[in-house]
A and B are shown apart, each in its own frame.
Chain A
Amino acid sequence: MARAYDVRRLPGFGAIALLTFVLLYLPILVLVVFSFNAGSSQSEWDGFSLQWYAAAFANQQVQDVSIRSLWLAAVAAGVATALAVPAALATTRVSRFPGQTMIYALINQPLMVPEIVTGIALLICVAWVKVNTGYTGMGYLVAAHTAFCIPFAYLPIRARLETLDPTLERAASDLYASPVQAFRFITLPLLVPGIAAGFMLGFVISLDTVVITEFVKSAGQDTLPTYMLGQLRRIITPEMNAIATLFLALSLVFVTAFFLITRKRG
Chain B
Amino acid sequence: MARAPDPDRDRHGWKWLLSAPALVVLVLAASGPLLIVAVYSFLSPGNMGGVAWEPSLEGWFKVFFSRDIFDPENVSWNTANLTVFWRTVWLSIQTTLICAVLGFPTAWFIATRPPHRRALWLFLITIPFWTNLLIRTFAIQELIRGTGMLNTVLLALHVIDEPLQLLYSNFAILLGMAYVFLPLMVLPLYAAMDKLDFRLVEAGYDLYASRWRVLWHVILPLVKPGFVAGSILVFIPSIGAYVTPRVLGGGRTMMLGNLIALQFGQGRNWPLGAALAMLLLILVTVALVVYLRAVNAEDEEKRHG
Contact = CB atoms under 8 A, between A and B. Distances in A.
The answer to whether A and B touch in the complex, with CB atoms under 8 Å apart, is yes
B35 to A, nearest CB: 9
Majority secondary structure, A binding face: helix
A208 B133 contact: yes
A50 interface: no
Interface residues of A, number: 93
Of listed B112, B247, B270, residue having the most chain A CB within 10 A: B112
B174 interface: no
Majority secondary structure, B binding face: helix
Interface residues of B, number: 90
A162 B198 CA distance: 28
A118 B29 CA distance: 9
A240 B102 CA distance: 30
Nearest to A108: B26
Contact of B261 (A107, A116, A147): A116
B65 interface: no
Contacts of B29: 122, 143-144, 146-148
A8 B112 contact: yes
Interface string A19-49: 1110111111011001000000111100000
B105 A20 contact: yes
Given A17-B106, A84-B22, A90 B16 contact: yes
Interface in A139-162: 143-144, 146-148, 150, 154
B202 A106 contact: no
Contact of B132 (A18, A144, A207): A207
A5 B31 CA distance: 55
B270 A41 contact: no
B108 A17 contact: yes
Contact of A13 (B19, B28, B30, B108): B108
Contacts of B273: 120
B123 A86 contact: no
4 smallest CB-CB distances across A and B, nearest first, come from: A114-B240, A17-B109, A121-B33, A147-B29
Interface of B: 3, 9, 12, 14-19, 21-23, 25-34, 36-37, 40, 50, 102-103, 105-106, 108-110, 112, 119, 123-128, 130-136, 138-143, 145, 147-149, 151-152, 179, 182-183, 198, 201-202, 205, 211, 214-215, 236-237, 239-240, 242-243, 246-247, 257, 260-261, 264, 270, 273-274, 277, 280-281, 284, 288
